[in-house]
Chains A and B, each alone.
Chain A
Amino acid sequence: GQQLNQSPQSMFIQEGEDVSMNCTSSSIFNTWLWYKQDPGEGPVLLIALYKAGELTSNGRLTAQFGITRKDSFLNISASIPSDVGIYFCAGQLGGGSEKLVFGKGTKLTVNP
């Protein structure tokens, strides 16, 4: 089945630093998305990407849809304490398949 390899598994950074995480797959996806999960809550959508090569920003967050359609990255600039949480990449095959496959997550810790 389709699997997403997300790295790194965890990150410990200082407030103000930039962060980068990525996701790769052996399968081609038509849509890539990034979600964030806070403790005790469900994931919340951060950014959705629909075209290969697309680069999209949402405030301090920037994500790119890889040109091969098999990867995506998420950057967070000038991290702040509330960025703490687990970040998940997700891919959707499209073409009639609406199933959304998730990576295992990157746990981010920001030290003030």
Chain B
Amino acid sequence: GAGVSQSPSNKVTEKGKDVELRCDPISGHTALYWYRQSLGQGLEFLIYFQGNSAPDKSGLPSDRFSAERTGGSVSTLTIQRTQQEDSAVYLCASSLGTGHTGELFFGEGSRLTVL
């Protein structure tokens, strides 16, 4: 696709359920980032992929959060046993991965609401 695609755009779930959020980066982009944005807040770094490897996963809040990337393309962020404080917009971004790696292209985000 032309841009970063995220799905679902909205997800409402019950506390304790698992959720999976998907990100399709721009074709050819080797770097992929996940951020979390709570209402009215800045972007909180979660994890960064270069290819299928995650050199920096320092932002994952707890072991309930995990992410993987396959084929150097699609990434899935999984949140197990969701809690109400997990409610936020989860943003995915990709970049070329070489040279100007801070130039991120963001998707529109997946809004997660945990009841």
Contact = CB atoms under 8 A, between A and B. Distances in A.
A63 to B, nearest CB: 13
Q: Is the interface of A mostly helix, strand, loop or mixed?
A: strand
A33 B15 CA distance: 37
A105 B45 contact: no
B4 interface: yes
A6 B59 CA distance: 20
B102 A31 contact: yes
Contacts of A33: 102-103
Q: How large is the interface on B (under 10, 10 to 19, 20 to 34, 35 or more residues)?
A: 20 to 34
A42 B41 contact: no
B34 to A, nearest CB: 11
Contact of A48 (B33, B35, B103): B103
Interface stretch (A13-21, A54-62, A68-76, A93-101): A93-101
B58 interface: yes
Interface of A: 6, 31, 33, 35, 40-45, 48, 50, 88, 90, 92, 97-105
Given A31-B100, A99-B48, A104-B42, 14 more contacts: A33-B102, A42-B4, A43-B43, A44-B106, A45-B104, A45-B105, A48-B102, A92-B101, A98-B50, A98-B55, A98-B102, A100-B102, A100-B104, A102-B43
